[in-house]
Amino acid sequence: MFKNQVSRWLIAAGIIGILVYSLLPAQDYASKAKEKRAQYLENLMKEKDSPIANVADFPGFSYFDPDESWVISADFKATTSDKIFQIIMTDSTVSTLPKLGEATFRKNGEVIKVHIFDEKTHYLLPFRDETNGETTYGGGRYINIPKENLSGNTLVIDFNEAHNFYCAYNEKYICPVPPAENKLPIAVPVGEKTYSQP
């Protein structure tokens, strides 16, 4: 009898716990974005060749407010030829990157197509837009896209995760110049802003 009562109480408590948990508000997009930004800073500080690890009184990064409308589901078409793409670097040398394919999406009334590259652990989107040289770094920005964001013919690109190249923090670094094909004809007012020296 006592065991049966305990079992019923435990079951009831479990059901109540599930109901309470289900009624709690889910973590919103802005909170998740801020957590990712904090993790990005922590990881960058730990890198062996970090461009900011030795900066005294590092002020942190400056960002636009997170905006979930800039999480884009783009149509993706894999590259079937010319898989090696030449990228010009900031020191005028030429490097190569494996081209994964092209992503096409519509934003602000424009149909935009960009080249996506494969960096083994993730996909890479280096790009420029109408904010460069004003609110964002003049040389453009990049997005590391998790490989799980590609499903069939759809690639999810979160422009809130746009970051500056390392040469934005330290001119001694050599960085890729986003290809002309990845010059967006619109402003992208999300992600990382121009870095201000302390």
Alpha-carbon span 33 to 105, nearest angstrom: 22
Model pTM greater than 0.85? no
Compute the average pLDDT of residues 16-43: 72
For residue 25, name the pLDDT band (cuts at 50, 70, 90): very low
CA R_g for the chain: 22
Alpha-carbon span 186 to 130, nearest angstrom: 5
For 104-148, write each residue's pLDDT tens digit.
999 999 999 999 999 999 999 999 999 999 999 999 999 999 999
Under 8 Å between Cβ of 84 and 113? no
Under 8 Å between Cβ of 63 and 37? yes
For every residue of 13-72, DSSP letters joined together read HHHHHHHHHHHSPPPPHHHHHHHHHHHHHHHHHHSTT-SSTT-TT-----BPPP-GGGEE
**Is residue 13 pLDDT above 80, yes or no?**
no
**Is residue 83 pLDDT above 90, yes or no?**
no
Q: Average pLDDT of the chain?
A: 87
Under 8 Å between Cβ of 169 and 55? yes
Q: Phi/psi at 58 (nearest 5 deg)?
A: -55, 125
Pick the residue with more confidence: 44 or 59? 44
